[in-house]
Amino acid sequence: MSSTALTETKLRDKIIADPDVILEDADLMRALIAANDKSLGTNVIDLRGIAMERLEARLERLEDTHRSVIAAAYDNLAGTNQVHRAVLALMDAADFESFLKVLADEVTDILRVDSIRLVLETAQDDDNPAVRKLGDVLSVAEPGFIHSYLSQGRGSADRQVTLRQMQPQDEVVYGEAAGWIRSEALLKLDLGEGRLPGMLAMGAEDPNQFSPSQGTDLLSFFAGVFERSMQRWLS
């Protein structure tokens, strides 16, 4: 017996002993189906083969959907962990100055944004040593600025979280960083009865980091925690 015949015999015996080797190999099954179609000739329609192709296409679509759902779940879990870590970092602050320093450093790194600024409206002169000392993270503006910035002249600014892709037209919010900000998340803050509103602005150089189509649940939670912390520091 030749070596070729011996090899063929061993392969045949292996397939008979374990047919799943072929059944579980998608490429082999396609080759066998194609060979069967060729042997049938051009005048015969293999409905079973057509059905199998359609089922295979549906399976591929389901697998793609499954992968997309898993990826979205992992992204959501990662985002939740980031926000929780950021909240815990803010809670460790011993005073308001430390609170803002943690916001500018640790929270910016944890949330993976390029700039975070806290905007507070005030009718008082902002040219004082306390404001200048916190100038890297704190911006002050005249009353009405936050509504105008959020609405961009288009009326409503009622949403707590606004996500958009844009380049700021002035330096009031981000200072010198405004020139390279391409997307932003804006968190409107209620600082308590009798106080002017505040805004937490997160800016990113990546134009796709924040967009209106993204969910806002986690940022809404962060905004709620942040504004309650601010009310405590301002009381």
Task: Give the C-alpha separation, 146 to 70, whole Å.
Answer: 38
Going by pLDDT thresholds of 50, 70 and 90, the confidence category of residue 140 is: confident
Given this model, what pLDDT does residue 38 score? Answer: 61
Question: Which residue type does 114 have?
Answer: D
Do 21 and 93 sit in the same domain of this protein? Answer: no
Least confident stretch, 94-108, 166-180, 201-215:
166-180
Question: Hey, which of 20-29, 56-65, 112-121 has the most confident mean pLDDT?
Answer: 112-121
The larger pLDDT score, comparing residue 177 to residue 71, is at: 177
- Number of structural domains in the chain: 2
Do 194 and 123 sit in the same domain of this protein? Answer: yes
Q: Considering 16, 32, 63, which residue would you say is the last residue of a domain?
A: 63
Do 19 and 100 sit in the same domain of this protein? Answer: no
DSSP string, 174-194: TGGGGGG--EEEEEEE---TT
> Could you tell me if residue 40 is inside a domain?
yes
Do 123 and 208 sit in the same domain of this protein? Answer: yes
Do 119 and 195 sit in the same domain of this protein? Answer: yes
Q: DSSP class of residue 179?
A: G
Place of tokens 């409206």: 121
Residues 6+ apart with CB under 8 A from 200: 116, 117, 118, 119, 186, 187, 189, 223, 226
- Average pLDDT (106-121) is 92
Given this model, what pLDDT does residue 61 score? Answer: 80
Given this model, what pLDDT does residue 130 score? Answer: 46
> Could you tell me if residue 75 is inside a domain?
no
Q: Note down the domain range covering 95.
A: 80-234
CATH code of the domain in which 92 resides: 3.30.450.40
> Could you tell me if residue 216 is inside a domain?
yes
Task: Give the C-alpha separation, 119 to 191, whole Å.
Answer: 12
Neighbours of 89 (CB within 10 A): 17
Do 145 and 202 sit in the same domain of this protein? Answer: yes
Residues 6+ apart with CB under 8 A from 146: 119, 121, 157, 188, 197, 198, 199
pLDDT digits (tens, 9 = 90+) for 154-190: 766 678 899 999 888 778 888 888 889 999 999 999 9
Percent over 70 (pLDDT), the chain:
75
